Chains A and B, each alone.
Chain A
């Protein structure tokens, strides 16, 4: 079997409403690693994911997965947006949402197969939400909603997983479930990219960090990235103390 392909981000620049949001980003994302994106508010963390997946136009640059542009291979991608982007009053049950993860694989005009239903059910079991299958999504807690979206991502059977702030407003149990599954995905040779809303304990869970503030400040293992110099460049001079800074 050929080795799993990398994602290569090459000279990526993105504008958001005529303002430069990301400038000349060069990165490689390898399978099997849990990659965390960090940086201050407005650093372009969410924009990085959206630009990679072709959800917003690039000014310059290219994002490839293997030989081809990543945006042409979205059937291999599972993306979980920020919880605030979702209308939680939408008339759908937990099951409806998880089955959305099977839409692309099922194809136009086809009905969901028994195999697809089984995959969705397994995904719900994995995140511990099987008992909530028939609940309206609006009746769940924030952590439960996030686990349902994680189940949807799992049901997509993707090779690349992108999560935008999955830990915002979730309970401890959900956080544990999410990290456990992130680890399992990495161990299974998937590319797992996670945007985080703040620094803190979270940073200890990632194999590779990407420190971002409109441009790439540093990337690599924790000790390599978390220098006082890098933190000052990312967060400015206001940040006095980080317990995790080497």
Chain B
């Protein structure tokens, strides 16, 4: 067998298993929505907020599990609730936003770990799978839920694209033109929470930040317009999550870290070799030349 054929065979052979088909489907969907939604976080300098929301979903997930409700719903509510509390502390006290995020997400995270550790003594639920992901263990129900979330997220981004572009670039100008920027901001928080919830099983809540930021950042070094950053980022995200899934299958690596190592490597390559911004490519320039 030629090497090419062997590689192709190596990619196709695992897909005869239903669990691998489910993993592939989830990897593709999560790779796309993380990159698209994460592009907004990157251009708005809200990376830390992505981290805060992802850590904050745990207690909601645990409580939903205890109540027998879909854990995605519980996680989503906790994620959104954390942004509301962060905003509340930030506007009603002299505490700065980054400090408020630090306080709220670590409190939520601690509560989540405590609850799940207590629950997992008597139940079939594994804390590690939520912390670090378990892409090879997704169920058919989770594939369905991920598909619903992915469709919803992409629909919102497409429908609100021009408004969200204006708002992310110039929030004051957008507000002054009469756009309801508070609603747009809230919509963005909902998008992030939905995306984090869909990504839990793939990379886990601790590492999901990487899949949110790194694909968009990689594409940002290569493309000059936001929708191009999103599309190229989606390609990077899908490639990373799918290849991480195979690495996990063949080398028996934890799936989340495998995916994050792939996407981090891709970012490193763009950082070094991007035609316009690569540090090894021509004179040192900051994005898109000098901004005087």
Contacts and interface: CB of A to CB of B under 8 A. Distances in A.
Interface stretch (B102-110, B173-181, B244-252): B173-181
Interface string A85-98: 11111111100110
Interface in A126-144: 136-139, 141-142
A99 B170 CA distance: 13
13 contacts: A53-B176, A79-B173, A80-B173, A81-B170, A88-B288, A90-B169, A92-B169, A96-B225, A97-B169, A99-B162, A100-B162, A100-B174, A162-B176
Contacts of A75: 177-178
Nearest to A86: B170
A55 B169 contact: no
A138 B287 contact: yes
B1 to A, nearest CB: 44
Contacts of A108: 159-160, 163
A156 interface: yes
A55 B176 contact: yes
Contact of A104 (B43, B178, B289): B178
Contacts of A89: 286-288, 291
B80 interface: no
A109 interface: yes
A156 B166 CA distance: 13
Contacts of B165: 92, 96, 100
A245 to B, nearest CB: 33
A78 interface: yes
Nearest to A102: B162
A42 to B, nearest CB: 19
Given A93-B225, A97-B169, A138-B286, 9 more contacts: A53-B176, A55-B175, A75-B177, A77-B178, A78-B176, A85-B172, A89-B286, A136-B289, A138-B287
Given A74-B178, A97-B169, A92 B162 contact: no
Contact of A137 (B45, B178, B288): B288
Contact of B162 (A74, A78, A80, A112): A112
A150 B160 CA distance: 24
A81 B291 contact: no
A169 B292 contact: yes
Contacts of A141: 292
Given A91-B225, A156-B177, A103 B292 contact: no
A232 B292 CA distance: 35
A203 B159 CA distance: 45
Contact of B177 (A79, A93, A99, A169): A79
A158 to B, nearest CB: 8
Nearest to B177: A104
B132 interface: no
Interface in B22-45: 43, 45
A137 B288 CA distance: 8
Contact of B176 (A79, A97, A136, A138): A79
Interface string A56-84: 00000000000000000011011111000
Interface string B271-292: 0000000000000001111011
Given A87-B43, A141-B292, A169-B292, A100 B178 contact: no
A28 interface: no
B281 to A, nearest CB: 16
Nearest to B43: A90
A16 to B, nearest CB: 14
B47 interface: no
B230 to A, nearest CB: 9
B177 A78 contact: yes
A112 B159 CA distance: 12
